[in-house]
């Protein structure tokens, strides 16, 4: 038994098994976005199922796009790093050269952290006014 697509409107199938040929015509409900993609020549992945409410064949296109990532908002640019705010987190980054020694690294990191905290307090104060 072989199934061959036919030209025309709708989903036409020409089913042949041996000598007899049977022509079937089925309507498939397709969303506008899927139809636009098909017209543009794009391969569309999805699922074909019978809608329980209407009883029609329905094609639902898969949504493969990842959610868009919003860029973090810079609160303060520091001497050796930055302080940023995302939708859920406050991010602090600090990078100091090892060659200056442990004591100076400690002082530089504490100074950067104090500057970042002051900027965060100022940001919070401005948002609550």
Residue 15 confidence (pLDDT) above 90: no
Give residue 3's pLDDT: 44
Q: Work out the mean pLDDT of the chain and round it to a whole number.
A: 84
Exposed/middle/buried for residue 13 (C-beta within 10 Å: 0-12, 13-18, 19+): middle
Q: DSSP secondary-structure letter at 83? A: E
Alpha helices in 56-128 (DSSP H): 102-128
Phi-psi group of 101: left, alpha or beta (phi > 0 → left; psi -120 to 50 → alpha; rest → beta): left
Give the pLDDT confidence of 90-114 residue by residue, as tens digits: 999 999 999 999 999 999 999 999 9
pTM here is 0.50
Instruction: Over range 51-59, report the average pLDDT.
Output: 87
């Amino acid at each position: 038994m072989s199934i061959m697509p036919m030209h025309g409107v709708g989903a036409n199938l020409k089913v042949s098994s041996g000598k007899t040929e049977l022509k079937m015509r089925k309507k498939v409900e397709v969303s506008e976005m899927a139809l636009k993609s098909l017209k543009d020549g794009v391969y569309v992945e999805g699922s074909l199922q019978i809608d329980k409410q209407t009883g029609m064949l329905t094609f639902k296109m898969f949504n493969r796009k990842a959610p868009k990532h919003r860029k973090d908002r810079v609160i303060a640019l520091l001497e050796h790093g930055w302080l940023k705010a995302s939708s859920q987190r406050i991010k602090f980054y600090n990078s100091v050269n090892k060659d200056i020694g442990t004591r100076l690294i400690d002082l530089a990191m504490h100074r950067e952290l104090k500057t970042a905290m002051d900027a965060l307090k100022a940001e919070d104060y401005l948002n609550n006014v």
